[in-house]
Chains A and B, each alone.
Chain A
Amino acid sequence: MSIIEVNGLHKEFLIAKRETGVMGAIKSLFKREFTKKEAVKDISFSIEKGEMVGYIGPNGAGKSTTIKMLTGILVPSAGEVTVNGIIPYENRQANAKNIGVVFGQRTQLWWDLPTIESFELLKAIYRVPDKRYKENMAIFQEILGLDEFINTPVRQLSLGQRMRADIAASLLHDPPILFLDEPTIGLDVVAKEKMRTFIQEINREKQVTVILTTHDMEDIEKLCQRMVLIDHGQKVYDGEILAVKERFGKMRTLVVDLEETSKQLYVTGGALVKQEGYRYWIRFNRDEISASDLITQISQTHNIKDLTVEEPVIESIISRIYQEGFTEQHETVHI
């Protein structure tokens, strides 16, 4: 059995409808009407031990709602969830010992105490044996450099230090599963890189299963082999990241700067998607026409000052999936 099983998961919320105007306000004192909002609609996936999965989607897609159901602090309206063999909402405290959670936006450390005190508190909460505690702390100090600031109160830590402390705190009790909610938000490039290395290392050494939600596509590209993409509460894609790139990655964009004074450019085999002065963006399908053919074609009629070919980054692929849906893409271009 997979370590995480989600089957036909469904969650709807009732939202109190506010009526406008004085009469509406008076009416709502006595009778409230509710509208249903479906945050998660029929999502299914399973995750194997040791996998690192990117769980992504635009704001309000239902990401945190799903994560909350996996942690047990939200009961599904319908469908099944099992996390490490436990139904989270039925057995919240037992589930808690199997999971580690990091929220990039808030800390689980005690704000006003030296960082070490929070670790000692968590040691007591999760009843981590002394030996285990020492071993784990040694690992965290080595990889995350915790000892630099272990005696500093949490409120005086920099964001990067705080995140390092937070992720260490979530792993202190050796949970087999780790939920990371935007673990690199607000970090600088170096700190992000450190964080990613650590996550990779933990995944490799301890076989921790990681579910990562993020808006930073670099996180996904560097950490995950697989991604689950959701939008409007529904699963849009579930599979390898490479496959997405393959499927959507055929499109390239050629950017050319022409000599000023040139006349309007027309091309065949590519689509002119944008023009700013003498700079043109031409989208083309790699399978249909090569970049060099396109360049040759343009250079016959115009003088090219400068050019670049842009490869699609995963980010733009995803934003296109949000907008257009995940359908086989086939663009024939004609001007």
Chain B
Amino acid sequence: MGQLNMYWTFTKKAFLRSSVYRFEVWSRTGSNLIFLVMWGSIWTALYAGKEEAAGVSFTAMLTYIVVSKFLDGVNEAGTPLWDIQEKVRTGDISLELMRPFDVPLRYLFADFGSVAFYMLTALLPIYFLLFLFMDLTLPTDGFTWIYFILSAFLGFLIRYCVEMTFGLLTFFLVETGGIEDIFYFAMSLLSGSVIPLWFFPGWLETIALYLPFQSIFFLPISIFIGEINGSQIFTSLGIQFFWLVVCYLILRLVWNRASHKVVVQGG
């Protein structure tokens, strides 16, 4: 109980801390919307007035992009990869080893705070208006909403584990450019954040289906627009849960190796 209370304090302080950076909130929102407009226009052009492509209606596709950018905003409000790398390089993370808390959990709870602030002040109001004024499809029954929220939350946790793991690899590498490239490639393409997996060539779709990244964007959005429905929803949630466990175990492994390296090699 005391433990939870301590991590919860991180959430509260991170929420407060986010309010200090009002300009950052606005600039992040600005760029989020610009990318939304860009991808919206690209898909409008690609559909070229057709009602349907690959069995998916234009409205559904547009909704896909809008929801994707919303999730993008949520995920970006967490501690970014470069920040984790920086904390490793400066040794700040190593110093946290001498505090009585678990470091990966402490960052996760702090991220909850930053995300909550960004969602309440920017994302939710703006996307609410978008859904109000644009011709988009909303889930009609309450259960779909619940499954979507659950799925998006699992996706957020998976993204956290993956990003933290990639960040912690800085402990073992002299230069980290390659790691960043792989991470951003996976996050933008393999996750289906801008191109849904059903438009992928067969071989690439197969690869993407066997990787954890589709859980972050593709699965929750597909549930939202109804491309995944019925019992498929449970299969998807099962896949996400499986990947969450796997990614969490990998994060733990890497963290243990990293902290072991710090305590033996001095970082």
Contact = CB atoms under 8 A, between A and B. Distances in A.
Nearest to B3: A127
A14 B265 CA distance: 7
B163 to A, nearest CB: 21
**Binding site secondary structure of chain A:** mixed
Contact of B266 (A68, A94, A108, A126): A68
Given A74-B266, A89-B263, A121-B13, A97 B100 contact: yes
Contact of B100 (A106, A126, A153): A126
Interface string A101-121: 101001010101100010011
Contacts of B100: 93-94, 96-97, 125-126
Interface residues of B, number: 23
A74 B20 contact: no
Nearest to B99: A96
**Binding site secondary structure of chain B:** helix
Nearest to A173: B100
Contact of B95 (A65, A73, A89, A97): A73
A73 B98 contact: yes
Contacts of A127: 2, 6
A167 B9 CA distance: 22
B97 interface: yes
B89 to A, nearest CB: 13
A125 B5 contact: no
Given A13-B266, A74-B266, A124-B9, A112 B20 contact: yes
A74 B9 contact: no
A207 B153 CA distance: 49
Interface in B75-103: 92, 94-95, 97-101
B48 interface: no
B13 A112 contact: no
B10 interface: yes
Contacts of B13: 110, 113, 117, 120-121
B245 to A, nearest CB: 25
A71 interface: yes
B228 interface: no
A73 B263 CA distance: 5
A113 B16 contact: yes
A103 B94 CA distance: 14
Contacts of A153: 20
Nearest to A97: B100
Given A93-B100, A121-B9, A124-B6, A73 B17 contact: no
A92 B97 contact: yes
B21 interface: yes
Contacts of B116: none
B264 interface: yes
B265 A13 contact: yes
Nearest to A68: B266
Interface string B97-136: 1111100000000000000000000000000000000000
Nearest to A39: B266
Interface in B1-46: 2, 5-6, 9-10, 13, 16-17, 20-21
Given A14-B265, A74-B266, A96 B98 contact: yes
B98 A120 contact: no
11 contacts: A13-B266, A73-B95, A73-B263, A74-B264, A93-B100, A110-B17, A113-B16, A113-B17, A117-B16, A125-B9, A125-B101
Given A101-B98, A112-B21, A124-B6, 14 more contacts: A14-B265, A72-B263, A74-B262, A74-B263, A75-B264, A95-B98, A97-B100, A99-B98, A113-B13, A117-B16, A121-B9, A125-B100, A125-B101, A126-B100
Interface of A: 13-14, 65, 68, 71-75, 89, 92-97, 99, 101, 103, 106, 108, 110, 112-113, 117, 120-121, 124-127, 153
